[in-house]
Every structure is written in structure tokens, then in C-alpha cells.
Amino acid sequence: MAEETLQLRKTRYLNPYIAGVILGLVLLAANYFSGRGLGASGAIKSTIVATVKTIAPSHANSAPFYKEELEKHPGNPLNSWLVFQMLGVLVGGFLSGVISRRLTFKVEHSPKISSKRRLIFATLGGILFGFGSQLGRGCTSGSALSGMAVLSLGGFISMMAIFGSGFMFAYFFRKNWI
Amino acid sequence: MGPLAPNEIITENTNLFLAFIVGIGFGFILEQAGFSSSRKLAGVFYGYDMVVLKVFFTGAITAMLGLLFFSLFGWIDLDLVYVNETYLYSAIVGGVIMGLGFILGGFCPGTSFCGAAIGKIDAMLFVVGLFIGVLIFQEGYPLWEGLFKAEYMGTPRVSESLGLSYGLFALMLIVVAVGMFWVAEWAEKKFPREEY
């Protein structure tokens, strides 16, 4: 009985090296089809640009960022490769959760901290990551992973800066995780 | 010959449809690897779970080799494959801010969507944070436009910057990655991990 509960509780994930090879093949497919790699933060940018364009057109026409962005990419910002790809990510993640029975509403956190603390830090982390991804022209997927696959110097710099900074700050926030 | 969309072998609509399919694969494999769990992702920074390093580097190497072989077989024109631009300062500063966001939030943008897709509430709030952070960047754009555009270096490949051939650098990267996998396996044995 006890063993059975343990068995049920244990979340089984795919072998990381096999997962990595498949991830690499997905990235290869993206490059083969579209000539570009994967990405995530770019889709958020496009969504916000589209929203601003719709609900505050005068602001979109005058504020420097939107002006530049709409000149660079005319047409509907939501018609972008990354927006469709990220919709796919939501579907793919959900399907994986269904198959591996991991669909549950929960706040995941170390037993040493409260849910509230976890949620505050998650929001703060998201804000910083969102801002940094725009300044750095792409996040872990678009700049670091996809950039490395094509040996982009910028991609390697992003990768080293992201992980280097993570290691640098890890000590100060260790209570949240270990 | 690939890439298909830039060579106009497939239409723009087909390309967007394929984006959706590729995205399903991307989300599925991230979730299967455990990237929907912030505690698993943050493990890389404390050594108790090195899944991020293993998946990330295996993925990068596989795609890099795939592109090299595709090019060798004449299946893809590497000159038409996008190489990320290098703006030195914004890449470093942006990366450092992202790293801080990673250790605070336990996700990166792609993985937070995955976590949100299976019901992780912390991941959903991380996504909300992402939208706020991107909006702050866009609204305050004139404040950091100078940094954003400083020190533009074009689109160099690391191999060129180091004066090495594409293939030799690729081989060196694989050797380095194997070394890191070895360290990763060692770290996981050394640092205790709970089940989560």
C-alpha cells in the first residue's frame, strides 16, 4: 500500500538526454521550415504590440517602440511565426500533461516556504525575465538555445550571461529552493 | 532545398501552420523532460537536479549537428538560416537580468507556458509577470534605447570570432558538453534531492 502511493506520487520524466535529442530535432525542423529557430518571448512582444495597436492606436502611432516595431513588421503583429509556435507550446504542454497525468492546479514550492512567497517571487521573476528578454533580444529559447545551434556569438553571450547570473544570484535566494 | 519558407517552397500560411505543429512538439518535449516544474529547473543552480543543463546542451548540439549535416547533404542553405544579431552590451545586461529573473521565478518564458499549460499557478503568475516586464520595456523604450542599440557587431558566428572552422568549433563544443554532462552527473550524486 505504502509502496503503491509512492509509485503514484513519483513523477516520471523522460530521460534528459533523449529529451534533448528530440528537442534538438524540433529546433532543426523549425530552422528547416522557416529558416529561424524557436522562441518564446517574441510571441509576448507581438501580442502586446497587437493589443496596443487595437486598443490605443494613437499611442501605437506615437510611442517610439511601437512606431519602430510596426515599421519593421507591417501587417498584423499576431500573424507571426512565434505567436503560432507559442500557441502550439500551450497545446503540446497540455497534451504531455494529459498523457503523463500531471494536470493539476497547484502552486509548486519548497516545503520551507509558503505558497504566497512562491507566487510573489514567481511574479517578480517573470517581470525581470520579460524585461531582460526584450533588452537581450530573446530569451533562453530564442537567443540562447536557437542562437547556439547556429553558433551565433550573441547566442553564446546570452547563454553565458543568463546562466552565469543565475549561479551568481543563486546563493542569495537559496532559501526559496533548498 | 531548405529552409522551405525563405526559398518560397511553402506558402506563408503553411509556414504559420508548421509553426503551430513545431510548437506542439516543443511544448510536449519540454513538459516530458520536466520543464514544467520550477523546482526541477532551479535545480541546475544548486546542483541537485541538472536536467536543464543536460536537455539544453543536448538540444543545442543535436540541432547544430543536424544543420551541419543538412548543409553537407545540400538539403539546407545555411546562408538563409537566421543568425541572431550580436549587440554586446544589451546581450550581457539583458542576460544578467534574465538570470536574476530565472532564480527568483524558477522559470524561463518557454517553460512557464508549459507549466501554465498543466495547471501550475506559479507558472501562470510568471507569465503575467512576463507580460508586465515586456510592457515596461516597450513603454520606457527611450530610456534604454541607447543601451539596446549599443556596440552592434553584426551577425558573427563564434567560430569566425575565434578564427576556427565551423566544424572544428562544433566538435569542441561537443567535447565541452560531454565534460559538463559528466560534472552534472557527479553533482546530482553529491547534492541531495527530494521528490517533487
Give the ipTM: 0.97
Instruction: Answer for the pair A165, B95: CB distance below 8 angstroms, yes or no.
Output: yes
B72: distance to nearest CA of chain A, Å? 14
| The three cell numbers locating residue A26 | 524540433
* Helix axes B109-117 and A115-135, enclosed angle (nearest 10): 140
Instruction: Answer for the pair B125, A125: CB distance below 8 angstroms, yes or no.
Output: no
- pTM for the full model? 0.95
For the segment A81-99, the average pLDDT, to the nearest whole number, is 97
pLDDT of residue B196: 74
Inter-chain contacts counted by CB atoms under 8 A, chains A and B: 541
In a domain, B152, yes or no: yes
Backbone angles phi, psi at B81, to 5 degrees: -90, 130
Tens-digit pLDDT profile for residues B77-101: 999 999 999 999 999 999 999 999 9
Q: What residue in B sits closest to A131 (Cα-Cα)?
A: B133
Residues 6+ apart with CB under 8 A from A135: B90, B93, B94, B97, B137, B144, B147, B148
In a domain, B33, yes or no: yes
Instruction: Look at A128 and B98 and tell me if their CB atoms are within 8 Å.
Output: yes
Question: Any idea which of A31-35, A38-42, A71-75, B129-133 has the lowest mean pLDDT?
Answer: A71-75
pLDDT of residue A75: 86
In a domain, B131, yes or no: yes
In a domain, B3, yes or no: no
Domain ranges of chain A: 13-104, 106-178
Q: How far apart are CA B165 and CA B158, in angstroms?
A: 10
Q: How far apart are CA B8 and CA B12, in angstroms?
A: 8
Instruction: Look at A148 and B60 and tell me if their CB atoms are within 8 Å.
Output: yes
Residues 6+ apart with CB under 8 A from A100: A11, A12, B31, B32
Residues pairing with B69 in the sheet: none
| The three cell numbers locating residue A14 | 523522460
For the segment A67-71, the average pLDDT, to the nearest whole number, is 92
Tens-digit pLDDT profile for residues B22-80: 999 999 999 999 999 999 999 999 999 999 999 999 999 999 999 999 999 999 999 99
In a domain, B182, yes or no: yes
A15: distance to nearest CA of chain B, Å? 7
Task: Count structural domains, chain B.
Answer: 1
Residues 6+ apart with CB under 8 A from B83: A147, A150, A151, A152, B155, B157
More confident residue, A44 or B193: A44
Per the structure, the complete domain to which residue B69 belongs is given by 12-190
